[in-house]
Amino acid sequence: MKVDDITNYLPKYLSTESQKELFDDIRKFIEGNNLSKIFTRILENENIIYQGDGLKGFKFYSFEKNELKVGPGLVLSNTCDLSLDNKRYMPTQILYAPIIAVSRYINILTENGISQEQINSHLKSIREQEITSIFYIPPVEGRIDESMVFLDRISNMRNSLATTKELLSERIFTLSNFGFYLFLLKLSIHFTRIREGVDRRTTSL
């Protein structure tokens, strides 16, 4: 994506000032991989779970190992879909993916016999957000180590008032306009590739 074309994709609901700030952050990222403004503290005390929030206390079940673990995760569900103010015939579920420390991932790769050169090249691609199935999360001192999210390892749990209160009691981070925009781009590319190269013309069953 060219820097000059970014304005065509900026969210229209933002103020002129916020749009300019977002544009500047995206431009800096494209030109120099600047991830210093991926988070915001403005919303951290809100009693709302936002799409892209990093939260502790998520449950992950491994079918291979037949075990249940609890750990940090990144919210994939749309913010509006998680609102308990919206009445529905069926209760909603929170979709999320595990947040994994880069150091842990390096250990796994090393144990699997991946060379240091290959690991370094792979991590460079992850940090530059080039791998479509992985969302890179830079470290925040006192909150989270350098981490990553595998977008193809999705879990879900019941969305309820009790769940919301429990999860929000350990909010790790909320994405800024820039971070959220980058996150949505990664989600869009991972799940919806309109040019998949498959002919799906209508035929009789």
* Residue 6 included in any domain: no
pLDDT of 15-56, one tens digit each? 667 666 666 666 666 555 556 678 888 888 888 899 999 999
In this prediction, residue 168 carries a pLDDT of 87
C-beta of residue 156 within 8 angstroms of C-beta of residue 146: no
Q: For residues 153, 33, 142 and 161, what is the CA-based torsion angle, rounded to 10 degrees?
A: -40
In this prediction, residue 120 carries a pLDDT of 95
Q: Reduced to 3 states, what is the DSSP secondary structure of residue 162?
A: helix
> What's the chain's average pLDDT?
83
For residue 110, pLDDT over 90 is answered with yes
State how far the Cα of 65 lies from the Cα of 46, in Å rounded to an integer: 37
* Residue 12 included in any domain: no
Q: Reduced to 3 states, what is the DSSP secondary structure of residue 156?
A: strand
Supply the range of the domain harboring residue 159.
35-190
Residue that the structure tokens 């009693």 belong to = 47
Q: How many domains in the chain?
A: 1
Residue 47, Cβ density class (10 Å: 0-12 exposed, 13-18 middle, ≥19 buried): exposed
* Residue 53 included in any domain: yes
Say which residue, 130 or 74, is predicted with more confidence: 74
Q: Reduced to 3 states, what is the DSSP secondary structure of residue 4?
A: helix
Alpha helices in 1-115 (DSSP H): 16-32, 79-82, 102-111
C-beta of residue 179 within 8 angstroms of C-beta of residue 38: yes
In this prediction, residue 104 carries a pLDDT of 95
Token code pair at residue 88:
């529905």
Residue that the structure tokens 């981490």 belong to = 147
